[in-house]
């Protein structure tokens, strides 16, 4: 999985102000919630968020380098997504009755320091729910790359703040109830590669 972020991502051309600190790749699955069956999509539609949830690139059809269904990263991604989906079903955030079929987006995000994991600030993603999973973190200052969760009804109310430090440190969030943010990452030592690679998963309704 780690090699995917180094070898199979490409520069995110949609970053504001011509930023070059983020590389990414993308895959998409359909999920049948009743039997927890994931099916990779060969040719996913462009990824679109509304301006309401993404003030920087909302309303734009974005395409990213695709992680094809036969790629070695597909199966570990599916396994991580299955664990998340089961936890969401246990909390009734996903339901075979209310959300029988959903799309699951997998974003492979490789960010070089200095860089911004969330240039849009505190935000929702326009999803049912989402999750973040640290794949690799190298040479970053301890006080950077801090993830925070906020009350969706009162975004000034910070509910939690934490740092993903070890591979597969993760968090899962109900996107309809909270907002989230991750602070800028900064290198700990100069002249040494510094980055934060994270798998982001999003569960959204099928159109």
pLDDT tens profile 22-71: 999 999 999 999 999 999 999 998 888 778 877 777 777 889 999 999 99
pTM: 0.95
Domain ranges of the chain: 2-205
Label each residue of the chain as H, E or C. CHHHHHHCCEECCCCHHHCCCEEEEEEEEEEECCCCEEEECCCCCCECCCCCCCCCCCCCCECCCECCCCCCCHHHHHHHHHHHHHHHHHCCCCCCCCCCEEEEEEEEEEEECCECCCCCCCECCCCCEEEEEEEEEECECCCCCEEEEEECCCCCCEEEEEECCCCCCEEEEECCCEEEEECCECECCCCCCCEEEEEEEEEEECC
Name the CATH code of domain 2-205 (choices 2.60.120.620, 3.90.1280.10, 1.10.260.40, 3.60.20.10).
2.60.120.620
Reported confidence tier of residue 199, pLDDT bands at 50, 70, 90: very high
Residue 183 has pLDDT above 80, yes or no: yes
Mean pLDDT value across the chain: 94
Q: What's the pLDDT at 185?
A: 97
């Amino acid at each position: 999985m780690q090699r995917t972020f180094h070898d199979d991502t490409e520069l995110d051309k949609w970053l504001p102000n011509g930023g070059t600190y983020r590389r990414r790749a993308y895959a998409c699955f359909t999920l049948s919630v009743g039997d927890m069956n994931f099916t990779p999509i060969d040719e996913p539609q462009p990824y679109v968020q509304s301006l309401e949830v993404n003030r920087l690139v909302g309303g734009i059809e974005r395409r990213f380098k695709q992680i094809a269904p036969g790629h070695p990263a597909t199966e570990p991604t599916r396994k991580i997504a299955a664990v998340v989906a089961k936890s969401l079903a246990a909390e009734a955030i996903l339901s075979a009755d209310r959300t029988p079929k959903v799309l699951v987006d997998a974003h492979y995000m490789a960010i070089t320091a200095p860089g911004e994991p969330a240039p849009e600030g505190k935000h929702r993603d326009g999803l049912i729910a989402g999750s973040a999973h640290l794949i690799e973190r190298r040479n970053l200052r301890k006080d950077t790359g801090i993830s925070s969760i906020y009350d969706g009804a009162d975004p000034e109310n910070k509910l939690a703040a934490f740092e993903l430090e070890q591979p597969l440190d993760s968090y899962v969030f109900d996107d309809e109830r909270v907002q989230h943010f991750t602070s800028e990452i900064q290198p700990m030592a100069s002249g040494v590669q510094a980055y934060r690679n994270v798998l982001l998963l999003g569960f959204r309704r099928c159109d």
